[in-house]
Chains A and B, each alone.
Chain A
Amino acid sequence: MFPLGLTSYIIGGAFIGLAVAFVYILTGIHATQSTFFTSTLSYFVKRPYFQRDTNLKSREWRLFFAAGVMLGALIYTLTISPDGFWVTSVPMWRLIFGGFLVGFGTRLSSGCTSGHGISGVASLSTTSVYAVLTFIATGMITVYLLGVLGL
């Protein structure tokens, strides 16, 4: 069940939860991730979907939030990480093809692992609970099929 132990998962999750709580208590904002793509695109794409109020109102903080996420991971890597800098061995075609579906699917669903998975579930939203169960199920099926196909 837990070949790498539990400690890093509990501590990592606690930091993530603290970040969400910190932002929410101070500002009432749900610090979530995937709207970042649409809201950042609103700087360049003038079509009505991208120019929605929610995108325009949040696009600035979402850039700061994303920059923070990247910096936080860098700080971890430069300080207490046992691994140091690290590069994945997942093939490039999987990162790109999978990434495309992640961008498409999270926006169609209005949420990702953080929006549905943390803020949505913690808000006791049934939509988010269904979404989380769905993406975990299709994720597991996909990994299984890729294994069967030897990819």
Chain B
Amino acid sequence: MKQQNSVLFIGGIIFGFGLAYGKMSQPEIVLSFLERTDFGLIVLMAAAFSFAFVAINIVPRFIEKPILGGQYKRRERTLSKNSIIGAIVFGVGWGISGLCPGAAISSVGVGNLPALAGIAAMFLGAYVMGRYFS
């Protein structure tokens, strides 16, 4: 296994463990946030943000380059009509299903096999977007 793949595999395990620990693999919990009855999702995002913020903004001041090669680059996207229209559509789908990509994948790991149908539908949605709207 390539070094990079091992890192991403281990990172994925930690990520998925966190999603399940934070109940994000349960669509019901995500929907209770969107119903405004449980704001835990914001707390979870804030906790995740604090570590990601340090890694992305502060660590590169002390370590010039990633330990295994490559370079540090902030994740930036140009603001466009598509980035907002896409977010509108994603939000509607999120509200209907209670699933987002990472949470859906972790959901399979907690035994929620119906999430596989949601993941298949995500592949189809990504295909339709790439095939007809790009």
The residues of A with any CB-CB pair to B shorter than 8 Å are 1-4, 6, 8-34, 36-38, 40-41, 45, 47, 49-50, 60-62, 64-77, 80-81, 83-90, 92, 94-128, 130-132, 134-144, 146-147
Contacts and interface: CB of A to CB of B under 8 A. Distances in A.
A29 B134 contact: no
Main secondary structure of the interface of A (DSSP, over half): helix
A98 B105 contact: no
Interface string B55-88: 1110100010111111111111111101111111
Contacts of B134: 49
A115 B73 CA distance: 14
Contacts of A73: 16-17, 19-20, 25, 105-110
Contacts of A92: 114, 117
B110 to A, nearest CB: 5
Interface of B: 1-2, 4-29, 31, 34-41, 43-57, 59, 63, 65-80, 82-115, 117-131, 133-134
Contact of A109 (B34, B35, B69, B84): B84
A75 B13 contact: yes
Nearest to B44: A13
Contacts of B21: 8, 11-12, 15, 76, 80
A132 B91 CA distance: 9
A6 B23 CA distance: 11
A47 B133 CA distance: 12
Interface centre among B57, B59, B91 (most CB of A within 10 A): B91
B24 A130 contact: no
A102 B107 CA distance: 15
B110 A139 contact: no
A61 B38 CA distance: 34
B75 A30 contact: yes
Given A96-B121, A105-B88, A108-B89, A23 B7 contact: yes
A72 B120 contact: no
A45 to B, nearest CB: 7
B76 A123 contact: yes
B59 to A, nearest CB: 6
- What are the 7 tightest A-B residue pairs by CB atom distance, in nearest-first order? A12-B22, A68-B12, A98-B97, A103-B125, A109-B86, A101-B93, A15-B18
Nearest to A60: B5
